[in-house]
Amino acid sequence: MPLVTRHVESMTILYEDHAAAWACTLPHIGPLAFNYEAWQRAGRVTGQAPGRGTSLFVDAGDGHEWVLRHYRRGGWIARLSASHYVWTGLERTRAFRELRLIAELHARGLPVPPPVAACVWRSGLSYQAALITQRLAGTRALAEHLASADAALLERVGATIARFHAAGLDHVDLNARNLLVDAEMRVWLIDLDRCRLRRPGAWQAANLDRLARSLAKFNAPPSAMQAIRRGYTDA
């Protein structure tokens, strides 16, 4: 589906065209859709995910769940501003870039969460932003599977990463929490903030090395990464 842009109050919202007929009230695409407190007041928060800041799981109605995430800074710069970014143009905002990338990969049939909407609100020379994707039902992070993961699952992880690399995706934060596994043992990739499509290069090995460091932090045995690399190579 094509992505369309609309201006609502002080916000600019990018969303899929099939949502064009939705009203600007909860749980639909509009200012309240990106407001944590509005979802909480409506009693529609169903959970949250770990990570920088908070990603809320919300009941969007009609059997759908969304993941709402506000962009938050990390490291020393967060001491200066936790959620404001320098304005360099709408299409260069982190939210618009991530949603467009998710939509592109989803259109290619790659296992990413279906896109819903992105929102940017500008204040002078800075902006804040938020992203909504559909929640992947029944998934758990690879980190939670490591204690019992067999070679078949780990090789499937490697093969999935190879699919993304073949499409040119450089995932700058490839770790055991950004790879999800569903009830059918299918592997999904999330959190594409700052990621981009590139020609083949050294970044592919760097992605795998980053994942290896992540597995080590979760005390996975060396054989886990060996199986992932095997699946990657054989894909």
pLDDT digits (tens, 9 = 90+) for 16-74: 865 544 434 444 567 788 999 999 999 999 999 866 557 999 998 888 899 999 998 76
Q: Which residues are catalytic?
A: 173
Q: Give me the sign of the Cα torsion angle 112, 115, 173, 175.
A: negative
Q: Report pLDDT for 110.
A: 98
Q: Report pLDDT for 53.
A: 57
- Ranges of the chain whose pLDDT falls below 70: 1, 17-29, 50-53, 74-81
Q: Do 109 and 188 sit in the same domain of this protein?
A: no
Q: Report pLDDT for 27.
A: 47
The CATH number linked to 144 is 1.10.510.10
Q: Report pLDDT for 149.
A: 96
Q: Report pLDDT for 111.
A: 98
Q: Do 51 and 118 sit in the same domain of this protein?
A: yes
Q: Do 187 and 102 sit in the same domain of this protein?
A: no
